[in-house]
Structure 1
Amino acid sequence: MKLMKSISRGLTVMLAGVAACALTSTAQAEVDFSGKTVEFVIPFSESGGSARWANFFAPLLSEALPGNPTVVVRYRPGAGSTKGANWFQRQKTDDGTLIFGSSGSTQFPYLLDDPRVKFDYNDWQVILASGVGGVTYLPPELGEKFDGDANDLKDIDFIWGSQGATRLDLVANLAWKMLGMNVQPVFGIAGRGDGRLMFERGEANIDYQTSPAYLKSVVPMVEAGRAVPMMTWGGLDDDGNIVRDPTFPDMPTFKEVCEATDGCETSGIAWEAWKAFFIAGFPAQKMVFLPKTASAEVRATYEQAFKDIIARPDFTKLSEATLGAYPQMTGKGAEKAKELATKVPAEAKAYVVNWLQEDYGVSLK
């Protein structure tokens, strides 16, 4: 209970910061990007939700930045995004021509003290934080067995493509374990889009995608009868409670499915650990950063550009169709989101570290 109250207070402050940032306008810094190219680097392949998110913002950012630079999305996949994040840590660009987009799959190894992590979020300057959701889906023949609980799915051997045990996918792996499902991950895919391709080829019989990729690539499969949605991870209300995802209000949440499934509990350390990592991974799942070396003027320019983008009359329509109905945070709101996304309670971390060792032989000690 103490853990949940702490998280709730943090969320309330974050959302208050978002509201404040939406009403605050600062003077545009005198930075000119005329004739320049901005590289928007993401540490994933071009087929997943992060790619869709980055490519959504790239042309809008080109219009909003002074001098209208060309904004190009570059892909640096590897090690579940750790390779690209380690690369970004070494960059010393100070003129604003390099920005980096992280995801929950970048945050989780950092949270878990993965020895492969050579980067530090404290060194990075956050300029945008984007909330996102996630949806689990099944092939039609297994979707027929799902009626709001996972009881009839417990005797099925599932296979899915995962980026890694310590990546964002741990939210899915832990959820399925709590439901009593036998889901065997095939670790090592470059991005969630590659997991979807395994599903499409019949190499996997369960998958989840973040909202941008689900809207673009899975909804057509659902409409064609080749996939059936199972549940979302959910959203959060102002008090930190799990509620239905605003982009998919007709789908049950994991919490609802857990409550309806024999043996799954929405209290206790397993639930608190799942919720803590869900909060760290989804309400502020994607963030845009400048290197530590970027000047205050460059940072102010980017923050103003993103504020201008979010204030566009057509932004809500554009973003909800592409990314889903989630908050976009700048300024103090983005800083608070970064704090929530890069810290988890010690007891939740300890539970997850022990579970990863027991189930996957992953040692982080």
Structure 2
Amino acid sequence: MNTKNTALAASVALACSLTGSAALSLDLTGKTVDFVIPFSETGGSARWANFYAPLLSEALPGNPTVVVKYMPGAGSTKGANWFQSQDYSDSEGTLIFGSSGSTQFPYLLDDPRVKYEYGDWNVVLASGTGGVAFLPPDLAGKMNGLDATGLQDTDFIWGSQGATRLDLVPLLGWEMLGMSVEPVFGIKGRGDGRLMFERGEANIDYQTSAAYLKSVVPLVEAGHAVPLMTWGALDADGNIVRDPTFPDIPTFKEICEATPSCETSGDAWEAWKAFFIAGFPVQKMVFLPQGADQDAIDTYTAAFNEVTARADFKELSENTLGVYPQMTGDTAQSMLKLGTEVPAEAKDFVKKWLLDTYGVSLK
């Protein structure tokens, strides 16, 4: 992560070089670009994709209509397996795919249901994000400052996409805090988990930043929810710090440090941190299918650079997505590697934890 600023500068330089015929050789006039999201329309990925779709339409040559399409199932594995079967020659620039940490984690854990290979895809945008966990007001009152010990005698119910998805991060974190959280597996998107919370079917939840800003902040303002913690963010040296979008909410690390039963060292912590890094600083990515030529990659890279260079992008993105880096070019390639690799020790720990805790055997 120490090379992040250098890589970011390289990305900016790349954006400046993508002019003329290379950036405009893909003509999408009169065409429709399908932006496929492997989740339901209620979660943070939908919010992220729908934010970018009209802006991307304006920036791509020929101003095509960019339509977000949803392909939920198996925690995003269904859609990702479908995308793996697509070839650029069949779409000629009219198909892009948006992945999430819930797509990366089964890949990282060698889930046998995974038939996709990130190395075959062509990344054109990498978006960092965060996540916020929240409680009903009566349960939030059991916290003693940052100490979560008072939550350990509560039986929590939580709507989850699955233990091998991005939900791994909160599940392991809550266990480290000594909390008893019973997941109801099988929801199609994090938005469905929020709806369970709103209906009183669940008494804890977390949402990625875009969905939290849109759908949970109103619950907080109405007194129906209280933020518990964020997962945090990474500084330039790879340290976990407060999420820049939610600087007033403590991080999981802070809660762990204040809770006697939780430790910010050892195997569990190192595994949690490794999967947090893989899942949130580079949580969402946009890809062209395998076989995409360099002109197409350059065209989409230039379009995303044009979007993020807009004078109003900072205001638009802060209100919709939060305060996180939006990366292209070499930086996106570096982030792709960060999001699809974890140390072997962390992978082994998580696989054993999944088997011991949930009976999930990834063979």
TM-score w.r.t. length of structure 2: 0.97
Paired residues of 2:24 and 2:61 also in contact (CA < 8 A) = no
Paired residues of 1:44 and 1:80 also in contact (CA < 8 A) = yes
Displacement after TM superposition at 1:20 (Å): 2.4
Query: 2:259 matched to 1:264?
Result: no
Structure 2: how far apart are the matches of 1:110 and 1:292?
A: 17
Q: Which whole-Å deviations, capped at 9, do the CAs of 1:185-219 have from their partners, x for residues lacking one?
A: 00000000000000000000000000000000000
Listed as ranges, the gaps of 5+ residues in structure 1 are 1-10
Structure 1: how far apart are the matches of 2:43 and 2:357?
A: 27
Query: 2:163 matched to 1:165?
Result: yes
Which of 79, 82, 86 in structure 2 is aligned with 1:84? 79
Q: What residue number does 1:3 align with?
A: none
Name the SS of the counterpart of 1:168 in structure 2: coil
1:57 maps to amino acid: Y
Structure 2: how far apart are the matches of 1:179 and 1:18?
A: 36
2:88 maps to amino acid: T
Paired residues of 1:45 and 1:77 also in contact (CA < 8 A) = yes
RMSD of aligned Cα (Å): 0.8
Q: What residue number does 1:6 align with?
A: none
1:59 maps to amino acid: P
Which of 77, 95, 98 in structure 2 is aligned with 1:101? 98
Which of 25, 37, 45 in structure 1 is aligned with 2:40? 45
Structure 1: how far apart are the matches of 2:9 and 2:258?
A: 36
Structure 2: how far apart are the matches of 1:14 and 1:275?
A: 18
Deviates more, 1:93-102 or 1:124-133: 93-102
The percentage of aligned residue pairs carrying the same residue is 71
Q: What residue number does 1:8 align with?
A: none
Listed as ranges, the gaps of 5+ residues in structure 2 are none
Paired residues of 1:130 and 1:326 also in contact (CA < 8 A) = yes
Distance 1:15 1:285, change over 3 A: farther
Structure 2: how far apart are the matches of 1:326 and 1:178?
A: 27
Structure 1: how far apart are the matches of 2:5 and 2:156?
A: 38
1:42 maps to amino acid: I
Query: 2:324 matched to 1:316?
Result: no
2:125 maps to amino acid: L
Structure 2: how far apart are the matches of 1:19 and 1:250?
A: 30
Query: 2:129 matched to 1:132?
Result: yes
Structure 1: how far apart are the matches of 2:124 and 2:292?
A: 12
Structure 2: how far apart are the matches of 1:14 and 1:108?
A: 23
Structure 2: how far apart are the matches of 1:277 and 1:73?
A: 28
2:241 maps to amino acid: V
Q: Which whole-Å deviations, capped at 9, do the CAs of 1:102-160 have from their partners, x for residues lacking one?
A: 00000000000000000000000000000000000001110111231211000000000
Displacement after TM superposition at 1:63 (Å): 0.2
1:79 maps to amino acid: A
Structure 1: how far apart are the matches of 2:8 and 2:221?
A: 35
Which of 167, 172, 176 in structure 1 is aligned with 2:174? 176
Structure 1: how far apart are the matches of 2:69 and 2:275?
A: 28
Displacement after TM superposition at 1:17 (Å): 1.1
1:22 maps to amino acid: V
Structure 1: how far apart are the matches of 2:344 and 2:4?
A: 21
The 5 Å alignment of 1:149-164 reads 149-164=147-162
Paired residues of 2:26 and 2:93 also in contact (CA < 8 A) = no
Displacement after TM superposition at 1:23 (Å): 3.9
1:48 maps to amino acid: G
Structure 2: how far apart are the matches of 1:43 and 1:96?
A: 19
Query: 2:6 matched to 1:16?
Result: yes
Structure 1: how far apart are the matches of 2:315 and 2:219?
A: 23
2:4 maps to amino acid: M
Name the SS of the counterpart of 2:147 in structure 1: coil
Structure 2: how far apart are the matches of 1:226 and 1:57?
A: 30
Structure 2: how far apart are the matches of 1:281 and 1:287?
A: 11
Name the SS of the counterpart of 1:337 in structure 2: helix
Name the SS of the counterpart of 1:309 in structure 2: helix
Which of 272, 278, 281 in structure 2 is aligned with 1:280? 278
Q: What residue number does 1:75 align with?
A: 70
Paired residues of 1:15 and 1:333 also in contact (CA < 8 A) = no
Name the SS of the counterpart of 1:12 in structure 2: coil
Paired residues of 1:13 and 1:336 also in contact (CA < 8 A) = no
Paired residues of 2:256 and 2:264 also in contact (CA < 8 A) = yes
Structure 1: how far apart are the matches of 2:48 and 2:2?
A: 25
Structure 2: how far apart are the matches of 1:100 and 1:120?
A: 13
Structure 1: how far apart are the matches of 2:137 and 2:226?
A: 6
Query: 2:28 matched to 1:33?
Result: yes
2:117 maps to amino acid: D
Q: What residue number does 2:111 align with?
A: 114
Structure 2: how far apart are the matches of 1:199 and 1:187?
A: 14
What is the aligned length? 355
1:268 maps to amino acid: G
Name the SS of the counterpart of 1:158 in structure 2: strand
Paired residues of 2:354 and 2:360 also in contact (CA < 8 A) = yes
1:105 maps to amino acid: S
Displacement after TM superposition at 1:30 (Å): 1.3
Displacement after TM superposition at 1:296 (Å): 1.3
Displacement after TM superposition at 1:15 (Å): 3.8
Which of 346, 349, 352 in structure 2 is aligned with 1:348? 346
Q: What residue number does 2:58 align with?
A: 63
Q: Which whole-Å deviations, capped at 9, do the CAs of 1:293-328 have from their partners, x for residues lacking one?
A: 222111110000001111111111110110000000
